[in-house]
Structure 1
Amino acid sequence: MLEPLLPVSNSRCGRWRDHRQVINGIIHRLSTGCQWRKLPERFGPWQTIHKRHMLWSADGTWERLLQHVQAVADAEGGIDWHINIDSTSIRAHQHAAGAPKPSASTALCLKRGHTKISSRARARGLMPIPGGGGAAGEALGRSRGGLTCKIHLSADGKCRPLSLVVTPGQRADCTQFEPLMDKIRVPRLGMGRPRRRPDSVCADKAYSNRVIRSYLRRRGIRHVIPEKSDTKSARLRRGSRGGRPAHFDKIRYKARNTVERAINKIKQFRAVATRYDKRGYVFLGTVTAAALLIWLRS
């Protein structure tokens, strides 16, 4: 299923090493969380596997593979578009800290507004860092427990991730709702635009605010989000001026466990349950590869 979408040759280095062998090495590292240097010899040189994973994380190959698998499932009617949204915190290992800053030439390109950087430069660690450098720029946050990051995801009704966003651990869930919804993009195998709008959305109280509800109303998406107790009290104090309460379907809200089960599935991969990647875009590629395996195994 994935072979037609993988690159055939490299203009500077000749043919790629066998993709199946390399992807098996990446899967082994995803499952065990071992160091790249500790990969068994049957997968080939660990440097090749590591660089291939960094390159595919930088140029969006993992994301394209995930969208292709989702498109095949959608063409067969296998996606339940009653989606659920949540986030989970990930403990970052101390080896995930200390990512080098981008070089002076890359910083100059970013200063001049040249955001297009070659995939080879990105794989070497020259990826543009959103919001500046440092731990925050690599989706790392600090708390009493140490370094943490957070995975925001939307899952379909069959416990499979549809979209993923990685942020520092202290970032609030509601701030990533719109970016997460905008990343839902399931292409059509034939003619037509990609599907971007689900049938309904379900989330917990962390996503209960006026901005999110207005965003869903503008797009015509039915939603089930419980009202916060302080919001309810303020509405009741205002009487008739407080407006009507938000619609809440208890039966639909019971299906929110599908996103919790999707988080449980994705955390079965030890390289996801504990973050070892220094770069934020590499860890996002790791999480995307794990989501791709969930789809393939379903």
Structure 2
Amino acid sequence: MEAVDGEALGRSRGGLSSTLHLAVDTCCRVLAVILSAGQAGDNPHLIPLLDQVRPPLGYRRPAGWWFRVIADKAYSARATRGYLRRRRIAATIPEKKDQLAQRRKRGARGGRPYTFDPEIYKRRNVVERAIARLKRYRALASRYAKRAVIHRSQILLVATADWLS
């Protein structure tokens, strides 16, 4: 079977697969969903994912209504951190070892180290729990849907049911 463009299927070690990118709240409820090919990187999908999330109606500060983005090292690119800073979104993202070494090598010109709170980072498990809640449904766990649009619709349907329960 061959990967089809636009269907969020890509070749990885295990064969054809897709990656699910989620934005969730602290109660493990899905706020936004993006599907990508299995071999695609995580970082390029963060900004479009955050752009899908809208502030609640009547909220006064639309530019900085987020409280915090908690993500793993895959999202530690300088451009991503700059985007979050411009939107006034607090970020708890660990720095990759190679980035840390490069900054230290540059000395004073390398800039200040990024703030990272390990206690806040422990709350990153809400994303993993949200994925586990979605994958309780067998059709989502094994992606029976061939079309990406149908698979994303199934995810949104289950997420809506989760919001209502």
Tell me the TM-score normalised to structure 2 length: 0.92
SS in 1 for 2:4: helix
Is residue 187–residue 193 contact of structure 1 (8 Å, CA) maintained in 2? no
Q: How does 1:38-53 map to 2 (within 5 A)?
A: none
> Shift in Å at residue 192 of structure 1?
6.6
- Kindly report which structure 2 residues correspond to 1:66-105, keeping only aligned pairs within 5 A, or say none: none
Q: Which amino acid aligns with 2:91?
A: H
Equivalent residue in structure 1 for 2:81, among 213, 227, 244: 213
Q: Give the CA deviation at 1:194.
A: 10
Decide which of 270, 274, 277 is 2:138's aligned counterpart.
270
Question: Relative CO higher for 1 or 2, CA cutoff 8 Å, sep ≥ 6?
Answer: 1
Which of these residues, 220, 223, 241, is aligned with residue 91 of structure 2? 223
C-alpha distance 151-193 of structure 1, shift in aligned 2 (>3 A)? farther
1:185: Cα distance to partner? 1.9
Gaps of 5+ in 1: 1-96, 99-133
Equivalent-residue separation in structure 2 for 1:167 and 1:231 (angstroms): 26
> Does structure 2 retain, via aligned residues, the 8 Å contact 1:140–1:167?
yes
Q: Are 1:151 and 2:30 counterparts?
A: no
1:1-298 alignment to 2 at 5 Å?
135-188=4-57, 197-297=65-165
Q: State the percentage of identical aligned residues.
A: 46
Closer, same or farther in 2 for the Cα pair 1:193/1:222, shift >3 Å?
closer
Shift of 1:277: 1.2
The 1:166–1:253 alpha-carbon spacing in structure 2 relative to 1, beyond 3 Å, is: same
Structure 1 residue 219, shift from structure 2 partner: 0.4
Whole-angstrom CA distance in 1 between matches of 2:100 and 2:31: 32
Are 1:201 and 1:221, in contact at CA under 8 Å, matched by a contact in 2? yes
- Closer, same or farther: CA 291–195 of 1 in aligned 2, 3 Å: farther
Instruction: Please give the secondary structure, in 2, of the residue aligned with 1:231.
Output: helix
Render the CA deviation track for 1:120-153: whole Å, top value 9, x for unaligned: xxxxxxxxxxxxxx61311111123221011100
Runs ≥4 in structure 1, deviation > 4 angstroms? 191-196
Structure with higher Rg: it is 1
